[in-house]
Amino acid sequence: MEISTFMKKKTLITLLSTAAVVLVSSLIFFVIYPERGNRYQEEEANLDGHPIYSQYSFSTDPGVINIGIQPLYLPTGVIFEAVKRDKILKHALSDLGVTVEYYPFLKGDDVNYFLYKKKLDSGIGGDMPAISAACEIDITIPLVVQNGFDSIITKKLILISDLMNKRIAYPFGSISHYTILNTLAMAGISEKDVKLVAMDVPEMAEALSANRIHAFTAWEPMVAEALQDHPDFKRNFRSMTSGYMYFTNEIVKSNPQAVKQIIAAVVRSFRWFHLDIDNLILSSKWNLEAGRALTGKKSNLSESDIARLAKKDILQYNSPPPVSE
């Protein structure tokens, strides 16, 4: 597959720009919150007994690559529903004697938990989970798969300073975790000046509606779903985020050809979406089904809604996703 010199340069520029943003974000986070490492160990849940994840039987077969995906994280959920059904990938992996198993998770930090335990070989995560994984284990990050926004949602329009002493829900260890910490820091608010409540994204809108919290931070499509379900909710702040697909160096070294085929399938999914909007809508339908299977809840968003949100993210670009060499 040949790529023009222009496309290569454009991809390289995008990669370098994204990498710079992520690096600066990580430095800011660890400078502002140097105690995070110890608190992470204290707060990290034991997910082995999680009501969803405890049902998973992770393959230990060396011919199987286990990938942690996120159906509730656009546009990655749409992308990997297409990748799951990529016949070229299945045939290529079959020739290598390899298969892929996909395991859905609620957030990137949950993916990392099982990555660290060597239950997964690859995962999808936003900037903060990707940085955290790189700090904990040896990984390779070949793909940018999300480039959009995170939001802070409240019941009325407020200033960030109005969050002082308020209860704010966030998904621990996720891109939204970084969003709220960074936003508070920019407003001169210490983490000790608010009450941060760790919560999974499917529970946040109901908690805000019931006044158990005063605000929450999340990503798409959970934000759009909350705003549609609750017309009184307001989007107060948006922060740019990025998401990545990463592999353990162990799987990259032991099965490099299979990893390359998986990366190629992700690139193909972008081209397939750009070929016909109906392809994106079809994958959005699969994504909604995957989200319902994960949470047991039916989204109020339509396939067209999901496709529209996905197009506003990295899928708005006419080039394939940035791939490192």
Partners of residue 103 on adjacent β-strands? 68
Question: What is the third-level CATH fold of 5-149+242-316?
Answer: D-Maltodextrin-Binding Protein; domain 2 (3.40.190)
CA distance 237 to 151: 6
Q: Where in the chain is the domain with CATH 3.40.190.10?
A: 5-149+242-316, 150-241
Question: Which amino acid, residue 146?
Answer: Q
Q: How confident is the model over 141-158, as a mean pLDDT?
A: 95
**Is the confidence at residue 322, as pLDDT, over 70?**
no
Peptide bond into 75 cis (omega under 30): yes
**Is the confidence at residue 250, as pLDDT, over 60?**
yes
CA distance 36 to 29: 9
Which residues, at least 6 apart from 239, have a Cβ–Cβ distance to it below 8 Å?
Answer: 149, 150, 151, 179, 182, 183
**Is the confidence at residue 79, as pLDDT, over 80?**
yes
Give me the CATH code for the 150-241 domain, please: 3.40.190.10
Q: Which two tokens stand for residue 304?
A: 């067209």
Confirm if 109 and 171 have CB atoms less than 8 A apart: yes
Confirm if 168 and 196 have CB atoms less than 8 A apart: yes
Report percent pLDDT > 70 for the chain: 83
Mean pLDDT of the chain: 88
Q: How confident is the model over 271-275, as a mean pLDDT?
A: 95
Report pLDDT for 25: 53
**Is the confidence at residue 28, as pLDDT, over 90?**
no
**Is the confidence at residue 86, as pLDDT, over 60?**
yes
Helices (H), 63-198: 76-84, 87-96, 108-116, 127-136, 175-186
pLDDT (tens digit per residue) in 92-136: 999 999 999 999 999 999 999 999 999 999 999 999 999 999 999
Report pLDDT for 24: 53
Q: How confident is the model over 225-239, as a mean pLDDT?
A: 96
Q: To which residue do tokens 């990997």 refer?
A: 80
Report pLDDT for 3: 37
pTM over cut 0.85: yes
76-84 and 303-312 are packed helices; what angle lies between their axes, rounded to 10 degrees? 110
The model's confidence at residue 318, banded by pLDDT at 50, 70 and 90, is low
Report pLDDT for 315: 78
Which residues, at least 6 apart from 9, have a Cβ–Cβ distance to it below 8 Å?
Answer: none
Q: Phi/psi at 94 (nearest 5 deg)?
A: -60, -40
